[in-house]
Structure 1
Amino acid sequence: MPLDASLYALSLQPRAISTGWLDLSVYAPDQVGAGSPAYALHKDHTNGSYNLYDPFTNALLGTSAVAPPSLPNATPNPKHRLIRLFDPDVEVHIWNQTGLSWSWTMDWEETQYVWTREVASLLGSDRAFTLSVNRKPDPNFPVLQYRPHRKGDMVEILDHNISRLEPPVRDRKGFEVAALLALAFFIDHTYPATTGSTASSPIASTSKPSAPAGAPPAVPLPKSRPAAAPSVRPPSPKRSPPPVKASPRIQVTDISPRALDAHCKYCLALLEDRYLPGLVLVSESPAHQQALTQLAERIQRKRLKATRGSDTLQVVVTASGSSGAGQEARPAAGGGLWAYLTGTFFENGRH
């Protein structure tokens, strides 16, 4: 049970009938059995990614995976992970810090947070994890705590400490989802394991992944029909060129130098796709205009240098509500900026 019964807490229970699933329920001290469902957390054992679902609508709220490398054919860095939230799309980078102590940092809006690990019990090897606000040189204070228990692990959301943050957290739900997806990687040992081979760390993709075939319903799916007898396949027709993809939208909420470096590397990796028409950088704050423009121009310079000028990449920065560079989607009305990187892309002399 949580340290304080008045705290908002989630209990974690592995599904015995579904491989790789954890059910997160709202903890109620006076209730027998599991409380009301809050989230469904799934580890995809085929690629090692983590996905968080709404238990009522089965909507995918976010996913966590190793961040893509900054250079083509480079080895992904397991100490840099990327969390992607959907509806609206937001990206959160978490970094493993060097040093004698175990710690990971993550940024949300204008605040930096740090994950630390503690020994949960002197009699066992279980580990507890705490997410705190990084307030150097002032002392940090926690906003989320994970504690293992014999009757079920517990996650405590410290709302009273979150309310102390300056500037205040604008999207508390998104912050909670991002924190749980970061925690999902740290508590990897709690997921029901599969007998298959261990998967390598995945790289975060540019598109929203589809839901796994096994869930999130808590009941097992009926057995599939027996496969039909193999038939002779007719000759495949000549493949047509793949359709033009939609421009990915990159949400820029943090304009610190480290975050902008990560955005630049990520965008350059996306631009290796020769069928990509461009990129859209989005910022909700008009105060980010200069940083957003500089980031777009920086990506343009590096891309043109890497392709020796073969990409006709252009940068257009518009205010929210304006059309930009002929894009099919336009920003919603209100404050904010959109930066478009558009043009004709080439690969090895082909387009």
Structure 2
Amino acid sequence: MNRYFFYNFILVSFINLMLYVPHILMADRYRGAVQSLIIGAVIGTILLYLYTSALARYPGKGLPEILKMHLPKWISHILISFFRFMWLYATSLAIIAFAIMINRFFNPDVHVSLILAMLVLASGYAATRSSLTVMFVIEIGLIVNAPIILFVLFKAGSNPHLNWDAIRVIANYVTKAPTLASTAAASFIFTGYINMSLFNRLMPSNSRFRHRWIYPLMGFVILLITFFVPIGIHGTEIVGNYIYIWSITADSLLMQYGFIERVLFLFLIVYLNLTLVFTMSGWHQAMEFVKSMMSNHKPEIDSEKTPLSNRRGSVRFRAPVSGEPSLQ
């Protein structure tokens, strides 16, 4: 079950390429962004170890149950409301940003509101499933899309036009003190552990968070690629002119084989999948936090009742009783 933690950490690590994290870091590239990469990694690692160590003491329980065990009801409701708003706002920001990207790069003729409505309907429907189902969707989404993202990162890092002199110029600003915005942006990539606030319910009693040292190392490597590769491709000055810097970076890459020539199309399709998965996960957590504030609510990992939307057309099987013929 330790893979659940791995999936959530990798999901947040990959989704930062599409959000505004690279743009914030590029804006401060001369004002301490390099040092913020180091400080953000240290802060993220410390918080990761502290948070997972605390959750490991309560296997099978989510954050709402833990807060109700140790805090007064009104304090726990305030904290739960904060987590609800945090996930609702963060994932809504992601799906809005991607709707704008689809409008700009895929189909400018379609109004962005229509694109956003379609994404909201898909994510909202998936978010109403059980926690176990949501985790399985995250697992399938990463298994399908993670290799393609790693391929795009490798394609960008191995680009023969990558200017290492530009990377060294920016790296020399490591002595500049970081800003609060760049430090917060750099530490975002390590925040996948916060998803375990709810999905810790899926952890069995004998589970442990193993090999935690891998996650900060992996996150720091992805963070370095996120920051330095666009600088090497676009240059030290031009890189600050783009908001969706990795979409432009993917658009500058070509594949000389296969039926997809521009990497941008592959990049956006993959991130469409990840955005829907990320939004589904965040909205599901927000809904579960709201449910936990109800006095008669009992958390459940997987719903025993089939949702009404899945009943129509379904066939139910039951074990044959004695005397009845069985299906062969």
TM-score by length of 2: 0.26
Q: Which has the higher contact order (CA 8 A, sep 6+)?
A: 2
Q: Which has the higher helix share?
A: 2
TM-score by length of 1: 0.25
